[in-house]
Structure 1
C-alpha cells in the first residue's frame, strides 16, 4: 500500500475509529492514543493490505482489540460521546425549551446505552451511530450475523422501553 492509498483508504475512517474507541474507553485522550496506535499498526502492515476486502472493518477490529487491551490494563474515566455522533439541532425552529429537551433526551439515551450489556452496546454503537452493515459488524466483532441482529434488536428494545418509561412516568 502506498502513502496515497493509505490517505484514501485509511485516514478517512479515523473519526469513526475515534468514536468507537471512545465508546470503549470513555476517555478522549486514550481514544486518540488508540487511534494513533491503530494507524501506526496499519501503516506498518501496509505491505499485506492490498488483498484486504474491507479495510474499514479491519481497522475497526484492530481498534476494538487495542481498546480492549487498554481497558484491561487500566480503568478510565467517563466522557459523553453521544453528542459527537449526532446533530441534535432543531434547525431554525429550535426554541431554548426544545434545545434543552433534546439535550436531556440525548443524555438519557447515552446513559441507557451505557447500561446495556457489552455486546449490545458495541452493536448499537456500530450500527446506529457509525452506520455499519450487519456483515461489517459481524466481521468487526467476530460474531455470527444472527448474533448481531439479536443483540441490536435487544439493545434498541431496551433503549426504547427506557425512553417510554421516562416519557410516561417522568423517571430518569
Structure 2
C-alpha cells in the first residue's frame, strides 16, 4: 500500500474510529492513543489489505480489540464518565427549561447505555451513533447477522425499559 492509498482509504475513516474508541473507553486521551496504535497496526499489516472485502470493518475491529485490551489491563482507569456528545448549550435554546430537561434526558440515556454489557454498548454505538449496517457490524464484531439483530433489539429494549422505569416509577 502506498502512502497515497493509505491517505485516501484509511485516513477518512479516522473520525469514525475515534468516536468508536471514545465510546468504548470514555476517555479522550486513551481514545487518541488507541487510534494511533490502530493506524500503525493497519500500516504495518498493509499486505493483508488486498484480501480484505471491507477495509472499514477491519479497521473498526482493530480499534475494538485494542480498546478492549486497554479496558482489561490493570493500568486502565476510567476518569471521565460524562459523555460530552450529549451535552447541549442552553444559550442556543429558546427555552432554558426545555434545554435543561433535554440535557437531563440525554444524560440518563448515556448513563443507561454505559451501564449495559459491553457487547450491547458496542452494537448500539455502531448502529445508532455511527450508522453502520447490520452486515458491517457483523463483520466488525465477528458475529452473524442474526446475533447482531438480536443483541441490538435486546440492548434497545433494556434502554427503553430503564427509561420507562425512571419516567413512570422514578426508579434509578
* Partners of 2:63 and 2:93 in 1: CA distance: 39
> What TM-score do you get using the length of structure 2 for normalisation?
0.88
CA contact (8 A) 2:109 2:163 kept: yes
State the match for 1:77 in structure 2.
Answer: 78
State the match for 1:5 in structure 2.
Answer: 5
CA contact (8 A) 2:26 2:83 kept: no
State the match for 1:32 in structure 2.
Answer: 32
Unaligned stretches of 5+ residues in structure 2: none
State the Cα distance separating 1:167 from its structure 2 match. 2.0
Which stretches of structure 1, 4 residues or longer, exceed 6 Å deviation after superposition? none
CA contact (8 A) 2:87 2:103 kept: no
* Partners of 2:134 and 2:89 in 1: CA distance: 28
State the Cα distance separating 1:46 from its structure 2 match. 2.1
> What TM-score do you get using the length of structure 1 for normalisation?
0.88
CA contact (8 A) 1:82 1:106 kept: no
Q: Cα 1:13–1:94, aligned 2, differ >3 Å: closer, same or farther?
A: farther
Q: Deviations over 1:62-107 (max 9, x none)?
A: 00111112222233214346443x68679x7641111111111111
> How do 1:118-157 and structure 2 match up within 5 A?
118-157=118-157
* Partners of 2:33 and 2:95 in 1: CA distance: 38
For the aligned residue pairs, the C-alpha RMSD in angstroms reads 2.2
2:50 alignment partner, SS class: coil
* Partners of 2:78 and 2:15 in 1: CA distance: 20
* Partners of 1:94 and 1:52 in 2: CA distance: 49
Aligned residues: 171
Q: Cα 1:81–1:59, aligned 2, differ >3 Å: closer, same or farther?
A: farther
* Partners of 1:131 and 1:81 in 2: CA distance: 22
2:95 is equivalent to residue 95 of structure 1: yes
* Partners of 1:88 and 1:126 in 2: CA distance: 22
* Partners of 2:129 and 2:45 in 1: CA distance: 28
Q: Cα 1:43–1:81, aligned 2, differ >3 Å: closer, same or farther?
A: farther
State the match for 1:14 in structure 2.
Answer: 14
